[in-house]
Structure 1
């Protein structure tokens, strides 16, 4: 038989736990509220770009979901298709600047890839995953996998690129993703476990301000565009160039939250002329970036733009306000 003292004791313990739990929740809510008060309006989204096929042309959109794996529009997520070489390593404009001539679009349940003198290559957005067609591949040192898109896609890419043994892979749902936190960087890796992407070089997002690009152009004897740097999110800040370097976290619109990871180190891809499909003869804008944006902490490569990871998914629109919590 349960005594009245036992009942009273249990009720006391339950009440104590409930009060402690409520206090913990209230403290957490208050802490989050305090943090939100420190966010300041720093600008507005001026452009959103999705690059479905790694190193091919991008698509400018007005609205997208900031999914944890990258910007997503109509079921198409950033850098979820990739061209690989015979050994499974990714192919990019670094080795094949001609890839910049490939234009990508989406229509219904297909992604279209168009190149000069070629018929349209049509890739299904949601292909059936056949285990025997899942291939191993590599992005830099990270070993991952992808669903082979078939011989027709492979032949198309080989014909356009003038190379043999190329394949087109798709990072289908359920296949292994790149874990950004496992990458080793000389300056340290700020990514957290669960910060993933499909075939991005590092983070699932890259952000750049218009002011930073304007500053670069003011130091060049020719004009370059965002196309040279391939940012997913472009922000107009009305502040000094490289203000984004000082942001720790950002909130876009009402719901989307992102962490800034580390500066994006730049390479010869910035020198590719997307209209000609070849690298610039003078090495610009990379040479100017090396003069202006090299810092000992990041080695010999200049930095331009910031890698980001999503903490809270949300829909982002061009024109949305951007709030930042500074470092």
Structure 2
């Protein structure tokens, strides 16, 4: 494992002077600022254990349930996001007749659509009252049929999956024969976009965006934080409602410790940089088992009472950018960087 990148020879006096230099207009201050960011973005030389990886969630279809896999399954961490034997995180998405993305924000029961792996390149979709439907990524029905859409204003190219998928998802979600298109992101690299909420984040890179993810291809939830939130709620929520890829069980109960985790290593290989706090939308208000939205607006309502800070939405969890690929599995040790 490579645990550090090439270091920069920057003295402490230079770093202190950056704060002064930023106040001075001109190219010199900009240069110092960029050098400062490079210094801050260097991988740590030391790591401190904080807990273990309790749960991994890979969502084949945006806003639907995670892939059903056996405990102990090993996942690949790449720039596009989590993957398992060719099944990749959020590389499938639903669009309406205007080619606008359809999510659980508008259709909460989308969370009831499940998927399981059945072959090297295939998954099977299931939903209450619907027959199972198999999709083979190597034999899509509409090869070469591109469709252009966007995620929060950022353009994204996709390909259509086929009419039988459009009909199946339309029947379950809209209760109609038509109206939705299932699209796929077949490309090996990330979209390279930054949504408006993350454009001010200095460590966010365009390749951190993943495929059809709202913000980044990796989100981490600290289960201690969810536990603390549940002490404030009348009806406790499950961590899955927040749709994080990594659920971390800390060795010591320390709610919101993740706010200050600048670097995270999972297992022996995969290394991540915190690129932004994770803002919470209304999707966590939807129960994953019932597909129904909480009538009192929880847990978002309670989070707004104490986790707003200077953001337009409350914070819970963190966005991560992959800085070193690797494999991860449940019960891997989780470390944070100590410089």
Correspondent of 1:56 among 64, 76, 85: 64
CA distance in 1, matches of 2:117, 2:198: 38
Partner residue in 1 for 2:36: none
CA distance in 2, matches of 1:214, 1:267: 19
Partner residue in 1 for 2:20: none
**More moved, 216-225 vs 190-199:** 190-199
The alpha-carbon distance between structure 1 residues 60 and 117, as it changes in their structure 2 partners (threshold 3 A), is closer
Partner residue in 2 for 1:231: 244
Pairs within 5 Å for 1:177-256: 177-180=190-193, 182-185=194-197, 188-189=200-201, 190-237=203-250, 238-256=252-270
CA distance in 2, matches of 1:59, 1:228: 15
Give the SS at the match of 2:6. helix
Deviations 1:195-222 (A, max 9, x none): 2411000100110011011000111111
Partner residue in 1 for 2:13: none
Partner residue in 2 for 1:270: 284
Partner residue in 1 for 2:118: 107
1:292 Cα deviation (Å)?
A: 1.9
**More moved, 80-89 vs 124-133:** 124-133
1:228 Cα deviation (Å)?
A: 1.0
More helix by share: 1
Q: TM-score, normalised by structure 1?
A: 0.84
Correspondent of 2:293 among 279, 282, 288: 279
Partner residue in 1 for 2:81: 70
**More moved, 183-192 vs 116-125:** 183-192
CA distance in 1, matches of 2:288, 2:156: 28
The alpha-carbon distance between structure 1 residues 148 and 186, as it changes in their structure 2 partners (threshold 3 A), is closer
Any gaps of 5 or more consecutive residues in structure 2? 10-38
Deviations 1:28-56 (A, max 9, x none): 37999x96443211111111111011000
Partner residue in 2 for 1:28: 6
Correspondent of 1:305 among 317, 320, 325: 317
Deviations 1:270-301 (A, max 9, x none): 111222222111111111111121111x12x1
Count of residue pairs brought into register by the alignment: 297
1:194 Cα deviation (Å)?
A: 2.8
Partner residue in 2 for 1:98: 109
CA distance in 1, matches of 2:68, 2:165: 24
Q: TM-score, normalised by structure 2?
A: 0.81
Partner residue in 1 for 2:49: 41
Q: Is the contact between residue 129 and residue 172 of structure 1 (CA under 8 Å) also seen in structure 2?
A: no
Q: Is the contact between residue 144 and residue 177 of structure 1 (CA under 8 Å) also seen in structure 2?
A: no
Q: Is the contact between residue 67 and residue 117 of structure 2 (CA under 8 Å) also seen in structure 1?
A: no
1:186 Cα deviation (Å)?
A: 7.2
Q: Is the contact between residue 142 and residue 178 of structure 1 (CA under 8 Å) also seen in structure 2?
A: no
Any gaps of 5 or more consecutive residues in structure 1? 1-25
The alpha-carbon distance between structure 1 residues 155 and 287, as it changes in their structure 2 partners (threshold 3 A), is same
Q: Is the contact between residue 89 and residue 140 of structure 1 (CA under 8 Å) also seen in structure 2?
A: no
1:224 Cα deviation (Å)?
A: 0.5
Deviations 1:74-102 (A, max 9, x none): 21111010011111111100000110111
CA distance in 2, matches of 1:37, 1:186: 27
CA distance in 2, matches of 1:68, 1:30: 25
The alpha-carbon distance between structure 1 residues 60 and 218, as it changes in their structure 2 partners (threshold 3 A), is farther
Q: Which runs of 4+ in 1 moved over 6 A?
A: 29-32
CA distance in 2, matches of 1:271, 1:206: 18
Q: Is the contact between residue 94 and residue 183 of structure 2 (CA under 8 Å) also seen in structure 1?
A: yes
Give the SS at the match of 1:219. coil
